[in-house]
Amino acid sequence: MHRISSNATLFLKIFIPTFWMVFFGAFTIAIWTVEVPYFGPIPAIWMKLGLTAFLLLGVTFFYLTLLQLKRVELDELYVYASNYYKTYRYPYHNIEKITERDMALFHIVRIHLKVPGNFGKKLTFLLDEAMFQDFLNKYPDVAVTMAELKLIGKD
């Protein structure tokens, strides 16, 4: 198996959301437990509600973006997707299409499945271009299969 997802996936999926939620969660709890009428010029109730809304918006943002990232590996017959706890394999014939979006610093790739798998109908990951090209060079028949199935396209 050859990993084609970026090394940054672990950092972005696990470490950043965990540290952010722990820091702002503890800060929110601390603000709610302090009994003062004002935080500087801001009334205490507005500070508490604003910080709680900021925490909930941040958690929602991480859930919809970074926490959806998967680690993806390929071999001659299957695509393997992992959330770092469980790994599932999907045969190439179950892939409807693969789309790629260039975000300047990184490439976001989505694998759209014909039949929903254990991670849903879409698998999202950050592509490591060099590892993907290395895989295609080692297994040119997989590249031909992907081209024949017209799997790869741009978003």
So what's the pLDDT on residue 116?
A: 95
**pLDDT of 155 strictly over 60:** no
What is the tens place of the pLDDT at every residue in 108-137? 999 999 999 999 999 999 999 999 889 988
Rounded mean pLDDT of the chain? 91
What is the tens place of the pLDDT at every residue in 72-90? 999 999 999 999 999 999 9
Band of residue 30 on the pLDDT scale cut at 50, 70, 90: very high
Asked whether residue 34 falls in the same domain as residue 87, the answer is no
**pLDDT of 21 strictly over 60:** yes
108 vs 147 pLDDT, higher one? 108
So what's the pLDDT on residue 89?
A: 95
**pLDDT of 37 strictly over 60:** yes
Total number of domains in the chain = 2
Query: Which residue pairs from 147-152 have beta carbons closer than 8 angstroms and sit at least 24 positions apart in sequence?
Result: 149/92, 149/93, 149/95, 150/97, 151/92, 151/95, 151/97, 151/98, 152/97, 152/98, 152/100
Asked whether residue 75 falls in the same domain as residue 150, the answer is yes
Domain end (from 43, 66, 89): 66
Q: Which domain holds residue 127?
A: 71-154
Asked whether residue 53 falls in the same domain as residue 101, the answer is no
The whole-model pTM stands at 0.84
Domain end (from 13, 39, 66): 66
Asked whether residue 43 falls in the same domain as residue 94, the answer is no
Asked whether residue 81 falls in the same domain as residue 100, the answer is yes
Indicate the range of 10-19, 50-59, 62-71, 94-103 predicted with least confidence. 94-103
Complete DSSP assignment for 134-153: HHHHH-HHHHHHHHHTT-EE
So what's the pLDDT on residue 114?
A: 93
Tell me the CATH number at 101: 2.30.29.210
**pLDDT of 23 strictly over 70:** yes
